[in-house]
Amino acid sequence: MFKTRLISGIVLVAVALLTVCTGHLVLFMTLLGVSVIGMQELYKAMKVREERFNGLELAGYAGVTGYYLVIGTAGQYALMELIAVLVLLMCVYVFSYPRYRVEQVMAAMFGVIYVGVMLSFIYQTRSLYGGEYHVWLIFLSSWGCDTCAYCVGMLIGKHKMAPVLSPKKSVEGAVGGVAGAAVLGAVYAAATGSIPMVYALICGVGALISMVGDLAASAIKRNQGIKDYGTLIPGHGGILDRFDSVIFTAPAIYFLCALLIAQKF
């Protein structure tokens, strides 16, 4: 299992390096594809997806595709597009009544925002001035925190952070994860000629938020009685199993960079 996870992890890092470094259309299309797959995993878990494609599910995919097209061409209309997605889902709901339950409609809209909109901030961060450097803070704060938290927790973890939801996570591990992410941010800043304190602060805050994303994904799985969202990534599970923390970190890093860095260039 460890070998499988390691190989999958290396492949993921390689794909991330290729797509993020290339940016523009390659990153745009990759994130759109990842978003649709992640939504499919969530829809299956939330009972929106059935044995065959259905109208509600397809409306969700159409909605997230439209959102990506808007942020790629006319980002000022993003909110309007999301409202249009909600209207579209409600049209499917009322004109096929009683085919779907209101819980399925809410889950379909949740999938558009939770997966599609949140992940799109990787592309939006990359599009900031200096974004070719800032975007890596998303992965440093999420995956870096996860790795550091695991190592510290294994070594000295004693106090459970969320004993019912995630018994293996400890307070010591959480502190180590945040501290580790901050250090990684400072080192990355020094290597790229940025301000270490600023990158350390951004990564530290991002690490805190990433843990919420991790726990939120675990809570959904527990509520739905599943172990993993999918099997796409050997040794890791599905897209949402690997990107659960990134989903929360991406918008946080975007806004932190926009506030603390981008306007200074």
What pTM was estimated for this model as a whole?
A: 0.93
Which residue's entry shows tokens 């592309």? 123
Residue type, 31: L
Write out pLDDT tens, residues 51-105. Answer: 788 999 999 999 999 999 999 888 899 999 999 999 999 999 999 999 999 999 9
* Rounded average pLDDT over 179-199: 94
CA dihedral 43→252→18→129, nearest 10 degrees, is 140
200-224: b or e for each residue (b if 16 or more CB lie within 10 Å)? bbbbbbbbbbbbebbbbbbebbeee
- Measure the CA–CA gap between 115 and 255, rounded to whole angstroms: 18
- Measure the CA–CA gap between 131 and 182, rounded to whole angstroms: 19
pLDDT score recorded for residue 141: 95
For the chain, the average pLDDT equals 91
- Measure the CA–CA gap between 243 and 32, rounded to whole angstroms: 14
- In this prediction, what percent of the chain has a pLDDT beyond 90? 69
For 96-210, strand residue ranges (E) read 160-162, 166-170
- Measure the CA–CA gap between 85 and 121, rounded to whole angstroms: 18
Nearest to 38 by CA among 196, 217, 208, 174: 217
209 forms beta bridges with: none
Write out pLDDT tens, residues 117-172. Answer: 999 999 999 999 899 999 999 999 998 999 999 899 888 988 888 888 888 889 99
Q: Are 92 and 55 in contact (CB under 8 A)?
A: yes
